[in-house]
Amino acid sequence: MSADARVPESSSTGIQELFRQIGVLREGHFLLTSGLHSPVYWEKFRVLQHPNHTGSLCAMIASRFRALKPAVVVGPTTGGIIVAFETARQLGVRGIFAEKEGNSRVLRRDFAISPGERVLVVDDVLTTGKSVVETLDAVRSVGGDVVGIGVLVDRSESPPSLGAELFSCLRAPAVTYTPDRCPLCARGVPLVKPGSS
Ligand SMILES: [Zn+2]
């Protein structure tokens, strides 16, 4: 991690506080796209719009995997493009992205991974792991050797099996409730649908 980085390494409290300050981590009573309710909502583009903060977090991922010598960094659209680009920039390697195609992801735009090439897969927020798994499939289907997976935030309750080491800058398991069991509904806290304002 470089000396000018703003996020102290191994300080999940520091990262959480940064996310709160810049509005990534909102607290209240939110309706998620899944239909579940949550006391917190993560607006990831609130951090991805800041190159300095994104750079500090990607530095943690880069330093974790630098010794494994990845030759290319791959992320899923949309936020993963930024994380892949910045992590690749810091490692001095290529940064590419995997795009949706039906229920899977593919490498388009003449992006190529050679058989046996060492690949680092990255994303912004891991919740179910679906985007990361689709990206891993796209990489492995062309013979890429996945040396690790790095995400800014791991929100999974228990990390899914990915077949490579998963590193997260911050681990913050999601808290969700079905509407009938939601304590915030019970207290009459107004429900907010993020992104609708
Ligand atoms: Zn509720």
pLDDT tens-digit map of 8-29: 445 778 888 888 888 888 889 9
CA of 37 to the centre of ligand 1 (A): 5
Q: What is the mean pLDDT of residues 156-162?
A: 84
pLDDT at 95 over 70: yes
pLDDT tens-digit map of 128-138: 888 999 999 99
In this predicted structure, what is the pLDDT of residue 155? Answer: 87
Ligand 1 ion: nearby residues, β-carbon < 5 Å = 37, 182, 184-185
In this predicted structure, what is the pLDDT of residue 98? Answer: 96
CA of 29 to the centre of ligand 1 (A): 6
pTM for the full predicted model: 0.85
CB atoms within 10 A of CB 49: 12
CB atoms within 10 A of CB 45: 14
Please give the domain boundaries of the chain with CATH numbers for all domains: 50-174 (3.40.50.2020)
Distance from C-alpha of 11 to C-alpha of 169, rounded to nearest angstrom = 9
Q: What is the mean pLDDT of residues 115-122?
A: 97
**Contact call for residues 108 and 76 (beta carbons, < 8 A):** no
CA of 34 to the centre of ligand 1 (A): 13
Give the dihedral sign, CA 16/95/148/80: positive
* Phi, psi for residue 17 in degrees, rounded to 5: -65, -40
